[in-house]
Amino acid sequence: MRRPLVITSLVTLLAAACGGDPATTATTDTASADALAGDTADDDTAEADTTPAADTALPPEVPLPEVWGPAVAADENPLPGVVEVTLTAAAKRVKLGGIQLDMLAYNDQIPGPTLHAKVGDELVVHFHNDLDQPTTIHWHGLRVPDAMDGTPRVQEPVPPGGDFEYRFVLRDAGSFWYHPHVRSNEQVERGLYGAIVVEEAEPAQVDVERFILLDDVLIEGGEIAPALATFMEQMHGRTGNHLLINGQLDDPLAPAVTVGHVERWRVLNPSNARTFTVGFVGDNVHWRVMGTDGGLLPEPYETDRLDIAVGQRYDLEVRYDGPGEAAFVTWIPTVNAQNQVVDAELPVVTLDPAPSTALATEAVWPSALPLPDREPNVDEQIAFDVVQGEDGNLQWRLNGQSNWRHPIFTCGEGDTVRLVLVNQAGPEHPFHLHGQFFEIVRRNGVAVTGEPGLKDTVRVPGLESVELVAYMDNPGQWMAHCHILEHAELGMMAEVVVEPAE
Ligand code: C2O
Ligand code: CU
């Protein structure tokens, strides 16, 4: 069930021109290009200066394609195969859409810097907490060792002024993201999240690669509204009244695009609770879904609209086959003047392809790994419900408990679990399992065909059931929770244990 809401900024949104505050908006291709060009130059110099004989035998590193979107974090390590960055979380007072807001930022950026690497690389993150509250960083979707997973289950949250070093190998290519796992409903809402791009060994050959982070924020009385203050927010999670598109408030992105080009878009929904329905309008833009949470699909597919639940990512191929204004839009249920619920069509990215005489591009996509073909050997079920807690707040539960220190089930490394999620109440839950991938096989007992590929997050609509096949290949102590951050905060978070194989 989706709750209609009045977008207070609808008029602004529909009339929006360019021109967000440059200090706060996402970085353009120029800055990304600089960051990457800088890295490449550093690599060359360092190798030439410090490694005379042995390393000259190494094959030259294939440079990563540029990613248009939030500025990429500078790689501080000249070695190929290692990406080493520093992330500092701190408060940031930002002017967004003419409003001064108390936000939180990684490296002074909202969204935080994009982390950009290649599959098989080691990622090292020197994290420093300059917030006035504890925090962690969780690497959503990455199959890291559990000690690096950034949950309070596996690490003591980093206190104000504290540091933590995250270090792990990037096992899977794909589009991922990072965010805190402590008071995440407040910290993510205020801007603590960023994109992670793990390129395939042979990255897709396209004209441009972009990362679009489509968020919403709730602004009331000129401030980000206080957390969990209303029954509606406890019940449905926080849905915002403003869009935040790569850090720009109610201001669609407007990249320069060219007729004949093919682009790779990586799209993430980092909002607290809203499922975004997205698609393209315009006659000459064609698109298809190339990848999901777990990487590229063996069989890409076409659709008119795509529902992106909180936490999910999609890789899209976008082609401009001719001139004419077009847009990447989101459809949001809105109450109109007659008090009817209608879908407002809001632009997220406006597109006006420039003519070109060059030949149209043929994109070359790396071949996707085949999906696992494994029969489940374990059956598990998780029931989702809600009760009134002793403190008067709603208490959201998984199998009757609200305790992430307690395993909801235990299985073995390499197990294939048939996992049935049963939603016993009205609100929807985007369920997220850490450290593993799964496929969505049935909804309400009926085989699903429209949601192919590996996922780490799945929508479980109100009073419905979803059957997953989960590939439990990463041993450790993992969290499994609703990604409506208010629900997670109010108890809808449990542990799943994967015992290591002998
Ligand atoms: Cu996106 Cu448990 O997290
Ligand atoms: Cu939920």
What is the per-residue pLDDT across 343-391, written as a single tens digit (0 to 9) for each?
999 999 999 999 999 988 899 999 999 999 999 999 999 999 999 999 9
Distance 366 CA to ligand 2 centre (A): 35
Ligand 1: distance of its center to the CA of 225 in Å?
22
What's the domain range around 175? 17-22+62-199
Residue where a domain stops, chosen among 199, 222, 239: 199
**According to the model, what pLDDT value does residue 307 have?**
98
Q: Is the pLDDT of residue 261 over 60?
A: yes
| Same domain for 346 and 437 | no
Each residue's pLDDT tens digit, 423-442:
999 999 999 999 999 999 99
Extract the runs of DSSP E, i.e. beta strands, from 218-261: 219-220, 223-224, 242-245, 248-249
**pLDDT band at 61; cut points 50, 70, 90:** low
More confident residue, 492 or 10: 492
Q: Which atom of ligand 1 is nearest to the CA of 488?
A: 2
181 neighbors 136 (Cβ within 8 angstroms)? yes
Cα–Cα distance for residue pair 446/450, rounded to 1 Å: 12
Q: Which of 199, 216, 245 is the last residue of a domain?
A: 199
Q: Are 462 and 426 in contact (CB under 8 A)?
A: yes
Contact 159, 119 (CB under 8 A): no
Regarding the beta carbon of 190 and ligand 1, being less than 6 Å apart is answered no
Cα–Cα distance, 319 to 317 (Å, whole number): 7
Q: Are residues 319 and 451 in the same domain?
A: no
Going by C-alpha positions, the residue among 130, 301, 278, 272 that lies closest to residue 190 is 272
* Ligand found nearest the CA of 397: 2
CA distance 72 to 31: 8
Q: Are residues 183 and 227 both part of a single domain?
A: no
Q: Are residues 241 and 139 in the same domain?
A: no
Per the domain annotation, does 370 fall within a domain? Answer: no
The neighbour count for residue 194, using CB atoms within 10 Å, is 27
**Does residue 181 line the site of ligand 1, with CB under 6 A?**
yes
Same domain, 191 and 260: no
Residues 316, 218: one domain?
yes
Domain count, the chain: 3
Least confident of 13-27, 340-354, 392-406, 442-456: 13-27
> Atom 3 of ligand 1 has which residue's CA nearest to it?
140
Q: What is the CATH number of the domain that holds 477?
A: 2.60.40.420
In angstroms, what is the span from residue 483 Cα to ligand 1's centroid?
6
Residue 347, ligand 1, Cβ within 6 A:
no
Is 49 domain-assigned?
no
| Domain shared by 483 and 383, yes or no | yes
CA 442/CA 447 separation, integer angstroms: 4
In a domain, 371, yes or no: no
Can you tell me the distance from the alpha carbon of 466 to that of 95, in angstroms, rounded to the nearest whole number? Answer: 42
pLDDT band at 47 (very low <50, low <70, confident <90, very high): very low
CB 120 within 8 A of CB 201: yes
- Report pLDDT digits (tens) over 114-126: 999 999 999 999 9
The CB of 487 under 6 Å from ligand 1? The reply is no
Does residue 33 lie within any of the structural domains? no
* 193 and 215 in a common domain: no
Whether 66 and 183 share a structural domain: yes
Q: Do 480 and 431 meet the contact criterion of CB atoms below 8 Å apart?
A: yes
Report if residue 53 sits inside a domain: no
Ligand number nearest to the C-alpha of 177: 1
Last residue of a domain, one of 158, 179, 199: 199
pLDDT band at 38 (very low <50, low <70, confident <90, very high): very low
Note whether 176 and 216 are same-domain residues.
no
| Residue 311 in contact with ligand 1 by CB distance below 6 A | yes
Cβ-count burial of 288 within 10 angstroms (0-12 exposed, 13-18 middle, 19+ buried)? middle
330 occurs within a structural domain: yes
Q: Are residues 184 and 227 in the same domain?
A: no
Q: Is 180 in the pocket of ligand 1 (CB under 6 A)?
A: no
pTM of the predicted model, to two decimals? 0.89
Q: What does the radius of gyration of the chain's CA atoms come to, in whole angstroms?
A: 22
Shared domain for 130 and 236, answered yes or no, is: no
